[in-house]
Structure 1
Amino acid sequence: MPIKQLRIATRQSPLALWQAGYVQSRLQQLYPDLSVVLVPMTTQGDKILGTPLTKIGGKGLFVKELEQAMLDDKADIAVHSMKDVPYRFPQGLELKVICEREDPTDAFVSNRYQDLAELPVGAVVGTSSMRRKVQLLRFRPDLEIKDLRGNVGTRLSKLDNEEYDAIILASAGLKRLGLSERISSAISPEQMLPAPGQGAVGIEARTNEPELDDLLAPLIDKDTQLRVAAERCITETLQASCQVPVAAFATIDKTQEERLSLKALVGGRDQIIITAAANGDKKDALKIGNQVAHQLLEQGAKNLMQSYLATTEQTTTDSSHE
């Protein structure tokens, strides 16, 4: 029997609603007779704003309620920012689709300065991401990094209230919310590697539902799926939690026989950073991801992550509010 209605579980933040609305719009364009409804939900990650995420469960807190809704048959699919999706899925659920990627870079946002180089000594920069903090301090150890949580609007309001000299957000989120003009400058991946999956929207659903698989298949962007798969290999192979600074970014060069290149890093205390990179045919995305992950392990990634955990009890991590 053809699917007549599809229920999309989504968080209620403006950015999450944009992502769910994007999938809803795509599906309605593809299937005019299909009823696609949103099921907005508030997650634990949205409720607990005064405590570092690393102390209350990390990025998984932004998806648990959505996953339970699908397991309880209160929703059919859930739409996520891929950098919020843990590498392990609950039994009975799986990742079905990764849509075409938006700008994966981090954005420098300031009302007074154009980029990181313009910031004065001792400037206060807001970010809730350990990944960003480690990389920022590598280039500018003189900066004061202060925690920043809340949705995009809340973070921008704190900047406008002069609580920070600058803040770092995801370029994709600002662009999707029609706030591109707030981006003072994009931070290149050469200067700051993004989080695995940053800028990509994913769709999770129950396993063993072939009709749903067929319905969702046109939303798959194959190159984005390969790139994100390679990036997520890093966190999976390292078994890296949200409590450690891990970054990964893959590109596909269509002028070079569609070769996929992947670079990743792991941060530790005192701004120690190790990096690794590899490239190959894009069809070998998972192999390339594993290769880079094992390079990091050979350089001592496990010890580096443990050293960071021992000294960062008060820090927080990326959230899809970026």
Structure 2
Amino acid sequence: MQTKPFRIGTRGSPLALAQAEETRDRLIKAHGLPPEAFEIAVISTKGDRITDRPLAEIGGKGLFTEEIEAQLSDGRIDIAVHSSKDMPTVLPKGLYLSAFLPREDVRDAFIGREARRIADLPQGATVGTSSLRRQALVRRARPDLNVVPFRGNVQTRMRKLEEGIVDGTLLAMAGLKRLGLQDNATDVMAVDDFLPALGQGAICVESRTDDTETDRLLAPVNDDATRTALHCERAFLAALDGSCRTPIAGLATVTGDTLAFSGMILSPDGTASFSVSRNGTPAEAADLGRDAGEAVRADAGPDFFESWS
């Protein structure tokens, strides 16, 4: 039986801390444990430390997980809590995604300084976002806009917006809700028009593959529908090699005995895109995602990926 506090590793941004606290609170409620049974350990990552360059330029996925996973592997922490969309498809040996919390709102939110919607922005207005997917989708909808990289946590980006550095930005609605900032959204983008990032809105827990005690602790807080959807989305990403320089979007939803998936890849300038959809059963989640990824890769052809890699 564990006598020292159960250590939850996380990044130190307000959103990352909110996600770790949600995980802790669900575990406390599920097991009737006191708050002092858990300790949140803040770990600095490369993605947090380097803020003056686009993510794709310094390595893409893995930038927000590597240092946390090192401490998980050597036992300094017991679990790691992440945003699912930050997770590479290949994890370090001995680690796996052991639980997914119930998924929050998957949509993107537009926050405009004066214009309430992207469609209302004046010609040549500046939109800031660090996401290649969001950049491509904005450029596809409004090729006249000036789209610029925009790094920083939620609060930093909103402060930059208020200072007039950009005319608008996009953030995940899930993150705004978890921070109690959802009223700042001036427009919530429909998924049919603005397909979200793979894994968006889902908190995942990473642990060691041989840690059966932790598996038992996490089992009551795992949400099967979210886990199934993420298996599909991550299989789609894996089939595309998850290139950090290719804008990729996708969403799987589970309704009863049906799983529906929609995926898309775009050119960074938004002028070219390839879409795919699949329907099946939850048991087929990984196969559907993999098949969708292979199909859209074949449709786009090798030149599509090599043009900007």
Alpha-carbon distance in 1 for matches of 2:198, 2:108:
12
Match of 1:319 in 2: none
C-alpha separation in 1, matches of 2:301 and 2:152: 30
2:110 is paired with a residue of what secondary structure?
A: strand
Distance 2:70 2:261 in 1: 33
How many Å apart are 1:286 and its aligned residue? Answer: 1.1
Q: Per-residue deviation at 1:160?
A: 0.4
Q: Name the residue aligned to 1:24.
A: 24
Q: Which residue of 2 aligns with 1:266?
A: 265
Equivalent position of 1:188 in the other structure: 190
| TM-score after normalising by structure 1 | 0.91
Equivalent-residue separation in structure 2 for 1:290 and 1:33 (angstroms): 40
Per-residue deviation at 1:32?
Answer: 3.0
Which aligned runs of 4 or more in structure 1 are off by greater than 4 angstroms?
A: none
Q: 267-276 vs 283-292, which deviates more?
A: 267-276
Aligned partner letter, 1:263: S
- Runs of 5+ consecutive residues of structure 1 not aligned to the other structure: 310-322
CA contact (8 A) 2:246 2:305 kept: yes
Q: Given the alignment, which residue of 39, 45, 56 partners 1:37?
A: 39
Q: Taking every aligned residue pair, what percent have the same amino acid on both sides? A: 39
Give the partner amino acid of 2:99. V
- Contact 2:274/2:296, CA 8 A, preserved across alignment: yes
1:296 corresponding residue in structure 2: 296
1:151 aligns with: 153
Question: Which residue of structure 2 lines up, in the alignment, with residue 111 of structure 1?
Answer: 113
Match of 1:318 in 2: none
Where does residue 57 of structure 2 map in the other structure?
55
2:164 maps to: 162
Matched to 1:9, the amino acid is: G
Structure 2 residue matching 1:75: 3-state secondary structure: coil
Q: CA deviation at 1:170?
A: 0.7
Amino acid corresponding to residue 274 of structure 2 in structure 1: I
Q: Is the Cα contact below 8 Å between 2:89 and 2:242 reproduced in 1? A: no
Question: Any conservation in 2 of the 1:266–1:304 contact (CA below 8 Å)?
Answer: no
CA deviation after TM superposition for structure 1 residue 76, in Å: 0.5
Return the offset for 1:300: 2.2
Structure 2 unaligned regions, length at least 5: none
Aligned residue in 2 for 1:284: 284
Report the count of equivalent residues: 306
Q: Distance in 2 between matches of 1:31 and 1:227?
A: 26
Q: Is the 8 A contact 2:247 2:268 kept in 1?
A: no
In 2, the alpha carbon distance for the partners of 1:21 and 1:253 equals 28
**Aligned residues: CA RMSD:** 1.4
**Residue deviations 1:92-150 (CA, integer Å, cap 9, x gap):** 11110011000011101013122121111111111001111111111111111011000
Aligned in 2, Cα 1:301/1:215: closer, same or farther, shift over 3 Å? farther
Which letter maps to 1:53?
A: L
Q: Give the residue type in structure 1 aligned to 2:153.
A: N
Q: CA deviation at 1:241?
A: 2.2
Aligned residue in 2 for 1:78 = 80
Which of 251, 254, 268 aligns to 1:252? It is: 254
C-alpha distance 66-301 of structure 1, shift in aligned 2 (>3 A): farther
8 A Cα contact 1:266 1:305, kept in partner = no
Deviation for aligned residue 1:252 = 2.3
Cα distance in 2 for residues equivalent to 1:14 and 1:182: 16
